[in-house]
A and B are shown apart, each in its own frame.
Chain A
Amino acid sequence: MIENRKYIIQFLIVLVGIIFLVKLFSIQVMDSRYKLAAENNVINKVVQYPYRGLILDRNHKIIVHNTPVYDIMVVPKEVNVPDTTVFCNLLNITEEEFIAKTQKAKEYSYIKQSLFYPQLSNEEFAKIQTRLVEYQGFYPVARTVRKYPEPVLANGLGYIGEVSKRQLERDTANYYKQGDFIGISGIEAAYEEELRGKRGVKYKLVNVRGIEKGSFNDGKFDTLSVPGNNLVSTIDLELQKYAEYLMKDKVGSIVAIEPTTGEILAFVNSPSYDPNLLAGRNYSKNFGELNKDTLKPLFNRPIMAQYRPGSVFKLVQSLIALQEGVVTPSTRIACNRGIINCHGSHSNEDLHGAIKYSCNPYFYQTFKRIIQQGDLDDFNKDARVGLTTWNRYLNDFGFGRKLGIDIPNESPGLVPGPTYYDYYYQKDHWNFYTIYSLSIGEGELLTTPLQVANLASILANRGYYIRPHMVKGIETTDSYYKIQYERQDTGIDSVHFTTVVDAMGEIVDGTARVARVKDIQIAGKTGTVQNKDSFDHSAFMAFAPKKNPQIAISVYVENAGWGGGVAAAITGLLIEKYIKGEVASNRAWVENYVMTKAYLNNL
Chain B
Amino acid sequence: MRRQDGIWNRVDWLLIAVFFILVILGWLNIYAVVYDAEQEQNIFSFDLNSGKQLIWIAGSLVIITAIMILDYKFFDSFAYYIYAVVLVLLVLVLIVGTEIAGNQSWFVFGSVRLQPSEFAKFATSLAIAKYFSSNNVRLDQFKEQIKSSLFVLVPMGLVIMQGDAGTALVFISFILVYYREGLPSFYVITGLSAAIIFILTLLVDQMYLSIGVIVLATIIIVINNKRLKNIGITILAAVIVIGVIQSVDYVISDVLKPHQQNRLKALVNPDADPLGYGWNVTQSKIAIGSGGTFGKGFLEGTQTKFDFVPEQSTDFIFCTIGEEHGWAGSFVLIILFLVLMVRIIVVAERQKSNFARIYGYAVAGIFFFHFGINIGMTIGLFPVAGIPLPFFSYGGSSLWSFTILLFVLIKLDAHRMQVLTR
Q: Do residues B289 and A27 form an inter-chain contact, with CB atoms below 8 A?
A: yes
7 A-B pairs with the lowest CB-CB distances in the bound complex, closest first = A34-B289, A38-B290, A27-B289, A28-B327, A37-B286, A17-B338, A24-B330
Interface residues of A, dominant DSSP: helix
Q: Do residues B302 and A21 form an inter-chain contact, with CB atoms below 8 A?
A: no
Q: In the complex, what distance in Å separates the CA atom of A109 from the CA atom of B376?
A: 38
With known contacts A16-B372, A27-B288, A34-B285, A21–B334 Cβ distance under 8 A? yes
Contacts of B288 in A (CB 8 A): 24, 27-28, 34
Closest chain B residue, CB of each to CB of A220: B307
Contacts of A112 in B (CB 8 A): 37-38
B residues 360-377 with Cβ under 8 Å of A? 361, 364, 368, 371-372, 375-376
Q: Which of B77-85, B105-113, B176-184 contacts A (4 or more CB under 8 A)?
A: B176-184
Q: Which of B26-34, B239-247, B341-349, B413-421 contacts A (4 or more CB under 8 A)?
A: B341-349
Q: Do residues B290 and A37 form an inter-chain contact, with CB atoms below 8 A?
A: yes
Q: Do residues B306 and A28 form an inter-chain contact, with CB atoms below 8 A?
A: no
Q: Do residues B334 and A27 form an inter-chain contact, with CB atoms below 8 A?
A: no
Closest chain B residue, CB of each to CB of A40: B286
Indicate with 1 or 0, residue by residue over A29-44, a CB within 8 angstroms of chain B CB atoms: 1010111011101110
Contacts of A31 in B (CB 8 A): 289
Q: Does B278 contact A (CB under 8 A)?
A: no
In the complex, 7 of the A-B residue pairs with CB atoms within 8 angstroms, ordered by the A residue number, are A13-B338, A17-B335, A21-B330, A24-B379, A28-B293, A34-B289, A43-B308
Q: How far is the CB of B176 from chain A (nearest CB, A)?
A: 6
Indicate with 1 or 0, residue by residue over B8-52, a CB within 8 angstroms of chain A CB atoms: 000000000000000000000000000001100000000000000
Q: Which among A13, A27, A28 has the highest number of chain B CB atoms within 10 Å?
A: A28
Interface size class for chain A? 35 or more
Q: Does B287 contact A (CB under 8 A)?
A: yes
With known contacts A5-B180, A9-B180, A16-B368, A38–B286 Cβ distance under 8 A? yes
Q: Does B58 contact A (CB under 8 A)?
A: no
For the complex, count residues of B whose C-beta is within 8 A of A: 44
**Set A20, A29, A216: member contacting B375, Cβ < 8 A:** A20
**Set A5, A24, A216: member contacting B322, Cβ < 8 A:** A24
Contacts of B176 in A (CB 8 A): 9
Q: Do residues A203 and B322 form an inter-chain contact, with CB atoms below 8 A?
A: no
With known contacts A28-B293, A42-B302, A216-B306, A13–B375 Cβ distance under 8 A? no
Q: Do residues B337 and A17 form an inter-chain contact, with CB atoms below 8 A?
A: yes
Q: Does A6 contact B (CB under 8 A)?
A: yes
Q: In the complex, what distance in Å separates the CA atom of A217 from the CA atom of B38?
A: 20
Q: Do residues A9 and B179 form an inter-chain contact, with CB atoms below 8 A?
A: yes
Q: Which among A17, A33, A203 has the highest number of chain B CB atoms within 10 Å?
A: A17
Q: How far is the CB of A417 from chain B (nearest CB, A)?
A: 50
Q: In the complex, what distance in Å separates the CA atom of A31 from the CA atom of B289?
A: 8
Q: Do residues B286 and A29 form an inter-chain contact, with CB atoms below 8 A?
A: no
Q: Do residues B290 and A35 form an inter-chain contact, with CB atoms below 8 A?
A: yes
Q: Do residues B337 and A28 form an inter-chain contact, with CB atoms below 8 A?
A: no
Contacts of B182 in A (CB 8 A): 2
**Set B291, B302, B307, B335: member contacting A28, Cβ < 8 A:** B291
Q: Do residues B307 and A217 form an inter-chain contact, with CB atoms below 8 A?
A: yes
Q: Do residues A5 and B179 form an inter-chain contact, with CB atoms below 8 A?
A: yes
Q: Does A25 contact B (CB under 8 A)?
A: yes
Q: Does B155 contact A (CB under 8 A)?
A: no
B residues 310-355 with Cβ under 8 Å of A? 322, 326-327, 330-331, 334-335, 337-338, 341-342, 345, 349
Q: In the complex, what distance in Å separates the CA atom of A35 from the CA atom of B364?
A: 35
Q: Do residues A17 and B334 form an inter-chain contact, with CB atoms below 8 A?
A: yes
Indicate with 1 or 0, residue by residue over B373-414, a CB within 8 angstroms of chain A CB atoms: 001100111000000000000000000000000000000000
Q: How far is the CB of B275 from chain A (nearest CB, A)?
A: 10
Q: Does B305 contact A (CB under 8 A)?
A: yes
Closest chain A residue, CB of each to CB of B340: A13
Q: Do residues B302 and A34 form an inter-chain contact, with CB atoms below 8 A?
A: no
Contacts of B179 in A (CB 8 A): 5, 9
Q: Do residues A23 and B302 form an inter-chain contact, with CB atoms below 8 A?
A: no
Q: Do residues A35 and B180 form an inter-chain contact, with CB atoms below 8 A?
A: no
Q: Does A392 contact B (CB under 8 A)?
A: no
Q: Does B303 contact A (CB under 8 A)?
A: yes
Q: In the complex, what distance in Å separates the CA atom of A13 from the CA atom of B345?
A: 10
Q: How far is the CB of A111 from chain B (nearest CB, A)?
A: 6
With known contacts A28-B289, A35-B289, A38-B286, A21–B331 Cβ distance under 8 A? yes
Q: How far is the CB of A403 from chain B (nearest CB, A)?
A: 41
Indicate with 1 or 0, residue by residue over A3-14, a CB within 8 angstroms of chain B CB atoms: 001100110011
Q: Which among A5, A6, A9, A24 has the highest number of chain B CB atoms within 10 Å?
A: A24
Contacts of A37 in B (CB 8 A): 286, 289-290
Q: Does B163 contact A (CB under 8 A)?
A: no
Q: Do residues B307 and A221 form an inter-chain contact, with CB atoms below 8 A?
A: yes
Q: Does A45 contact B (CB under 8 A)?
A: yes
Q: Does B292 contact A (CB under 8 A)?
A: yes
Q: In the complex, what distance in Å separates the CA atom of A359 from the CA atom of B181?
A: 120
Q: Which among A16, A33, A42, A43 has the highest number of chain B CB atoms within 10 Å?
A: A16
Q: Does A173 contact B (CB under 8 A)?
A: no
Indicate with 1 or 0, residue by residue over B273-287, a CB within 8 angstroms of chain A CB atoms: 000000000000111
With known contacts A21-B331, A35-B292, A45-B38, A27–B285 Cβ distance under 8 A? yes
Closest chain B residue, CB of each to CB of A177: B38
Contacts of B334 in A (CB 8 A): 17, 20-21, 24
Q: Does A19 contact B (CB under 8 A)?
A: yes
Q: In the complex, what distance in Å separates the CA atom of A27 from the CA atom of B182?
A: 39
Q: In the complex, what distance in Å separates the CA atom of A203 from the CA atom of B368?
A: 39
Q: In the complex, what distance in Å separates the CA atom of A10 from the CA atom of B381?
A: 20
Q: Do residues A221 and B293 form an inter-chain contact, with CB atoms below 8 A?
A: no
Q: In the complex, what distance in Å separates the CA atom of A13 from the CA atom of B330?
A: 16
Q: Do residues B303 and A41 form an inter-chain contact, with CB atoms below 8 A?
A: yes
Q: In the complex, what distance in Å separates the CA atom of A111 from the CA atom of B302?
A: 13
Q: Do residues B379 and A20 form an inter-chain contact, with CB atoms below 8 A?
A: yes
Closest chain A residue, CB of each to CB of B342: A10
Q: In the complex, what distance in Å separates the CA atom of A283 from the CA atom of B230?
A: 96
Contacts of A33 in B (CB 8 A): 289
Q: Do residues B331 and A34 form an inter-chain contact, with CB atoms below 8 A?
A: no
Q: Do residues B381 and A23 form an inter-chain contact, with CB atoms below 8 A?
A: yes
Contacts of B341 in A (CB 8 A): 13
Q: List 14 additional A-B contacts (Cβ < 8 Å) besides A24-B331, A27-B379.
A: A5-B180, A6-B345, A6-B349, A13-B342, A16-B376, A29-B292, A29-B293, A34-B286, A34-B289, A37-B286, A38-B287, A38-B290, A41-B303, A41-B308
Q: In the complex, what distance in Å separates the CA atom of A19 from the CA atom of B371?
A: 13
Q: Do residues A38 and B306 form an inter-chain contact, with CB atoms below 8 A?
A: no
Contacts of B342 in A (CB 8 A): 10, 13-14
Indicate with 1 or 0, residue by residue over B225-247, a CB within 8 angstroms of chain A CB atoms: 00000000000000000000000
Contacts of A13 in B (CB 8 A): 338, 341-342, 345, 364, 368
Indicate with 1 or 0, residue by residue over B160-188, a CB within 8 angstroms of chain A CB atoms: 00000000000000001001101000000
Q: Which among A14, A33, A38 has the highest number of chain B CB atoms within 10 Å?
A: A38
Closest chain B residue, CB of each to CB of A113: B38
Closest chain B residue, CB of each to CB of A201: B38
